């Protein structure tokens, strides 16, 4: 037991060191105020995890992740704080604030009490708003961050580590920030971006409402959740139609059938159906001699096969497709958690061969994290880079597929097949990490050559290799769900190549 604990602390120390290195590299390109905020997030997160190591009630055992969770999104937005639109600056301010709130809450909650910790965290927001550091909208959104953490840990116990719940809570706050800005008229988005934001907001809200309602409504009345889903879907369509000033279904049909220099989206959908129709019957779950891990990584490669060509050729449609897939998965998971017949039993049987060992709680999140890991970099490139018009934008948009879809799958295939030398304090193998690194570099090189960005400086190649090496090392030591965490750090590092 002492030896296991010492190895665990060693791996955690390496994880903290890697997070500090990433923040240091990102901070070197930032202004002085942003640099100080990043340093504060890293140090306070480390203190909170070190002194408050007991974790929150309901968090997944053996995976605290306060430091890596609270540092991910601030590092992602920090390098783009100086953009002209100011959207990245607002996102960075919100993520940094919520990270500090999570650190304070975790530290005080384990040392004092949950009530006192919540009161102190809320007081920090109130004081920041009173002295003018925060605007009213950011302060209002930040006030719901701690309740969102409490919801994830209490309503879905053992489903999230602290770091994962922090990232999910921050993503929810970011979506709420955009929605409130849209409603107040302070932000104007294109029709496509508006539809994506409203769809993610409504599906996430439906998940929260359904999880809470399932604890009140008896199981014999579970059919009520179907009615709630239909009502929520109807309300979402009405909201989208009002926001884009065109009926949502009419807009969707026009978008899918529009002829442009880009591939027609309807043809892309037909390709998706063809690939899925061929790949699903060939899934390794049909072969009993294959491990559960290999079966899951098979779908990582299928996702890459579907997404990579579309991201390169039509990132706008890929952003919409990712939003639809994420919304569908969230709604299905909500209905499954509520025990809604007959869907719940069917989904449970379908997921059984592919459940990850870290899916300890009520929620099964591995497949949702897989889609999120690929979609978040694509959405980031679509919203902030406006497309794949540079080396940086291309690598960022493909980051999820590079790390999660290809690199992680290569690491699992090689590690489980020929891996013999393990990292200290980890189940990951050196052979698997080497395969991950090599596959990522080969894939990125091929993508740059295909698109025509292969004439790049040696300095850029060095930064790409640094980003890949740090992410590979982080994958080897972290206990967090790598599908969610690794792409965020990879994108933060890839933004340094410009």
Query: Is the predicted pLDDT of residue 75 greater than 70, yes or no?
Result: yes
pLDDT classification of 319: cutoffs 50, 70, 90 = very high
User: What is the reported pLDDT for 122?
Assistant: 66
Residue 428: its pLDDT value, please?
82
What is the mean predicted confidence (pLDDT) over 253-259? 79
Choice among 116-130, 243-257, 353-367, 380-394 with the minimum mean pLDDT: 116-130
Q: Give the pLDDT band of residue 288 (cuts 50, 70, 90).
A: very low
Residue 350 has pLDDT above 50, yes or no: yes
Angle at 365 between CA 360 and CA 371, to 5 degrees: 155
What's the confidence (pLDDT) of residue 132? 58
How do residues 84-129 score in pLDDT, each as one tens digit?
A: 457 888 888 888 888 888 888 777 776 666 666 666 666 766 666 6
Rounded CA-CA distance 312/388 in Å is: 7
pTM of the model as a whole: 0.89
pLDDT tens readout for residues 5-23: 333 445 567 788 888 888 8
pLDDT greater than 80 at residue 356? no
Q: Work out the mean pLDDT of the chain and round it to a whole number.
A: 81
If you count them, how many residues does the chain have? 498
Task: Note whether 246 and 191 are within 8 A (CB).
Answer: yes
The candidate with the shortest Cα–Cα distance to 408, out of 379, 435, 443, 444, is 435
Of residues 208 and 52, which shows the higher confidence score?
Answer: 208
């Amino acid at each position: 037991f002492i030896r296991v604990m010492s190895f665990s602390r060693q791996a955690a120390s390496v994880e903290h060191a890697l997070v500090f290195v990433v923040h240091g590299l990102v901070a070197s390109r930032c202004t002085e105020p942003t640099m100080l905020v990043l340093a504060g997030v890293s140090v306070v997160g480390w203190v909170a995890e070190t002194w408050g190591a007991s974790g929150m009630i309901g968090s997944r055992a053996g995976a605290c992740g306060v430091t890596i969770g609270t540092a991910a999104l601030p590092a992602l937005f920090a390098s783009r704080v100086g953009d002209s639109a100011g959207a990245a600056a607002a996102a960075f301010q919100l993520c940094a604030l919520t990270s500090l709130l999570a650190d304070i809450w975790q530290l005080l909650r384990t040392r004092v009490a949950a009530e006192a910790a919540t009161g102190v965290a809320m007081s920090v927001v109130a004081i920041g708003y009173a002295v003018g550091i925060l605007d009213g909208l950011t302060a209002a959104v930040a006030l719901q961050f701690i309740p969102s953490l409490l919801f994830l840990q209490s309503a879905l116990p053992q489903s999230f580590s602290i770091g994962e719940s922090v990232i999910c809570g921050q993503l929810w706050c970011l979506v709420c920030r955009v929605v409130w800005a849209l409603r107040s008229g302070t932000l104007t988005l294109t029709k496509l971006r508006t539809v994506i934001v409203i769809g993610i907001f409504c599906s996430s809200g439906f998940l929260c409402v359904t999880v809470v309602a399932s604890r009140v409504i008896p199981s014999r009345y579970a059919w009520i959740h179907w009615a709630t889903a239909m009502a929520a879907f109807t309300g979402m369509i009405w909201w989208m139609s009002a926001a884009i000033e065109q009926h949502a279904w009419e807009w969707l049909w026009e978008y899918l059938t529009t002829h442009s220099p880009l591939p027609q989206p309807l043809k892309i959908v037909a390709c998706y159906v063809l690939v899925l129709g061929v790949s699903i019957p060939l899934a390794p779950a049909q072969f009993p001699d294959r491990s559960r891990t290999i079966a899951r990584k098979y779908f990582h490669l299928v996702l890459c096969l579907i997404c990579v060509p579309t991201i390169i050729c039509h990132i706008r449609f890929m952003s919409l497709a990712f939003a639809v897939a994420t919304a569908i998965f969230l709604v299905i998971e909500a209905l499954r958690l509520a025990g809604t017949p007959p869907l719940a039993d069917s989904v449970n049987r379908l997921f059984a061969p592919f459940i990850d060992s870290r899916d300890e709680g009520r929620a099964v999140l591995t497949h949702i994290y897989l889609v999120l890991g690929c979609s978040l970099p694509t959405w980031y490139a679509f919203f902030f880079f406006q497309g794949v018009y540079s080396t940086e934008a291309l690598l960022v948009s493909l980051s999820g597929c590079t790390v999660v879809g290809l690199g992680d799958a290569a690491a699992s295939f090689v590690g489980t097949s020929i891996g013999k030398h393990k990292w200290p304090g980890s189940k990951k193998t050196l052979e698997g990490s080497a395969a991950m690194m090599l596959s990522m570099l080969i894939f990125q090189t091929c993508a740059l050559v295909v698109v025509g960005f292969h004439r790049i400086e040696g300095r850029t190649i060095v930064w790409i290799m640094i980003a890949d090496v740090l992410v590979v090392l982080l994958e080897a030591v972290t206990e967090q769900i790598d599908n969610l965490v690794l792409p965020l750090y990879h994108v933060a590092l890839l933004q340094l190549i410009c």
